[in-house]
Structure formats: structure tokens, C-alpha cells
Amino acid sequence: MDWLREEFVRVEGCTALDAFGGTGAVSHLLSQLGWDVTYNDAFQFNTISARALFSPAKMQLSVADVASILRAIQPHPGFIHATFADLYFTDEENAWLDGFMVALAHVEPACKDLLLHCLFQACLKKRPYNLFHRANLKLRQSQVEVQFGNRTTWEKSFAEHILSTFEEVQQMQPSLGSNIRVTAGGAAEDIAPGYDFVYIDPPYFKRARATESYLSRYHFLEGLARYEEWPLLLDAGDRLRRIQTSTINEWTDKTALIKNIEALIQKHSKAKFALSYVSGEYPSEEELFALFSDNFSHVHLSRRAYGRALSKQKFCDLLLIGEP
């Protein structure tokens, strides 16, 4: 974030689009720098979290309110309990999740978004590796020493994690600007032009092998976000009960990535444009620089080295900024 701040302060303009908004961290940064920001993401779970964090209504619940709601949850062996046994959470936890979703139906929308955001974070905290592209429940329940994760965190209840996340949000929300608009969520290429600055952080692709899609990694959260329609979204033949890929318009075609980026650049042809990517993968740094050079009169490339948990390999983040 400090690196992006250093780069973004040089960009002039008033309106910014964060087209692959994800956690909302970059939207928050742009807001702090004085931009009027539009946040967009293809996933509903991210869109719900962004509404919870950036909504002008903000906090309509107190810690006592949330604690009261959580105490009233009645475990209910419903869809999650029947569908995801022995995959991600225990039977008791699955029944609790069903009960939470039943109770959530009676909560007003703004408060529902905030509670769902807290639930998403709880689900991630209770997962080894914080992902859903493998079952990993047996790893969580085993007695072997683990190199990544924390058994104490895994075994805390959903209610404990939800309340903890709510308190974190309550502390941070006064610092969040009200100049962030959250779209209904959808494909980046569907957003109309008219922004001074467009920032994209699309999915990265491994050069030598297939890359797990974001939907594969976070399908369970997307299902919670779309709970009523979840049974209709499932890939019936998938062992992990993932959502069908056709339901989300994310960029999963490696061979089409350069074409997709160029189409966005041309759609927002009057805007300054920034791309975050990673070096050493597909497409290459040289290919991305050539793409920007073909479409902008001025191109600035910046790099920052970083490391990843569980990897000895060193990586380099790339930031390309093009100006018409």
C-alpha cells in the first residue's frame, strides 16, 4: 500500500475506478488520496464486504446487538449441513452456518451485509490456508505439526470470530471515507467509461502450469453470499461441491488475458490506466510493457520485491501506469 501510495500521488484527476476491487484496500487508499472512487468486483461476497465497509450508513449495530444475534442462533441441519459434510467444517459447524443464514433472513439489508462480511472472515480464519480449493478438514483435525495456520484459531467458534471481526470493523470505520461508491458487482468489461483513472489487479496466471481460479479458491464464500440460489449454482459432478464456472464472469482464460486488458484500455481510452501484476509469470513483463507502449503515449513501470508464505521463491510485483 505504501508503494501504491507513492505511485498514485503522481496521478492527477478526480474520479477513479477500482475494477477488480477484491478486499477494497486499493479503493480505500484512493479514497484517502482524495479520489471519488467506484469499487467493482465480479464476486458477490466481495461486493457485500465492500458495501459493509464503505456504506454511508456504516455502523447500525453495536457489539451488544451482534452478541445478542449470535446467542440466538439455532443450529439447523439444512443445505450446508447436507451438502458439505466432511469437506470444510465439522457437521456441528455446518449446522450452525445453516442456522446463521436462516436467522440472517430477518435482519435489515445494511446490517445483513455487515454480518455476512464478518461471517466470510470467520470462514477464512477457520480454514487451513484460508482457501476452499481443497477439503483440508482432516488436516485441521489431525494431530500433526502444521507449518501454516493456527489450531487455536481454527477451533474458535464462528460466533467468536464474527464478534472479533465486528469489533475490528467498528474501530476502523471512522477512518473510511464516504467517497467510495460500490457497484452491484459484475464483470469489469461491463463498466461504462468516464473515469479519470482506472486501476486493475486481474487474476495472475502461472507460466508453466494451470492456475486455480478465484472461484475455485473462494466458492464457499460466494455460495454464502448467494445462499438462496446456491443449490442451483453447484457443479453436480464436483467432489468439492464447487460452483459452476459459468456463473461468474472472471478472467480465467490465460490465452485471452492480454486481449482482455487491451479491450479495457480501449474502452476507457481517455483515462489514465494502471495495472498490477507479478513478474516471471504469464504474460511476461516485456509483453505487458509492449501492450502499454502500444496504447499510451507515456508509460511508467515500477517494481517491488516481496516474498510469500510457504515459498522460498522471491517475487517481484509490477505496476504499469499509462497516460494517453
Tens-digit pLDDT profile for residues 105-156: 989 888 999 999 999 999 999 998 899 999 999 888 887 776 666 888 999 9
Instruction: For Cα atoms 59, 62, 65, give the angle at the middle one, nearest 5 degrees.
Output: 125
Q: What does the H/E/C string look like for 24-53?
A: CHHHHHHHHCCCEEEECCCCHHHHHHHHHH
Tens-digit pLDDT profile for residues 70-85: 999 999 999 999 999 9
Give the confidence band of 176 by pLDDT, cuts at 50, 70, 90: confident
Mean local confidence (pLDDT), 19-48: 97
91 with 206, same domain: the answer is: no
Domain end position, chosen among 194, 228, 249: 249
Cβ count within 10 A of residue 29: 19
Domain end position, chosen among 231, 249, 267: 249
183 with 265, same domain: the answer is: yes
pLDDT value, residue 175: 80
192 with 300, same domain: the answer is: yes
Task: Give the separation between CA 220 and CA 56, rounded to whole angstroms.
Answer: 28
pLDDT value, residue 43: 98
287 pLDDT above the threshold of 60: yes
161 with 129, same domain: the answer is: yes
Indicate the average pLDDT of the chain.
93
- Beta carbons of 220 and 124 less than 8 angstroms apart: no
46 with 194, same domain: the answer is: yes
- Alpha-carbon Rg of the chain, whole angstroms? 21
Domain end position, chosen among 249, 274, 305: 249
153 with 225, same domain: the answer is: yes
Q: Domain count of the chain? A: 2
Tens-digit pLDDT profile for residues 207-236: 888 889 999 999 999 999 999 999 999 998
Mean local confidence (pLDDT), 9-26: 97
Q: What does each C-alpha distance from 278 to 6, 96, 201, 258, 271 come to in angstroms?
A: 18, 39, 10, 14, 23
17 with 68, same domain: the answer is: no
41 with 135, same domain: the answer is: no
The residue segments making up the domain with residue 219 are: 59-175+214-249
> What CATH number did the domain enclosing 2 receive?
3.40.50.150
Task: Give the separation between CA 296 and CA 289, rounded to whole angstroms.
Answer: 10
> Cα-flanking dihedrals φ and ψ of residue 137, to 5°?
-65, -40
Q: Is 296 in a helix, a strand, or coil?
A: coil
155 with 245, same domain: the answer is: yes
pLDDT value, residue 58: 57
Cβ count within 10 A of residue 114: 28
66 with 84, same domain: the answer is: yes
169 with 230, same domain: the answer is: yes
Q: What does each C-alpha distance from 142 to 9, 47, 151 come to in angstroms?
A: 49, 35, 10
262 pLDDT above the threshold of 80: yes
187 pLDDT above the threshold of 90: yes
307 with 262, same domain: the answer is: yes
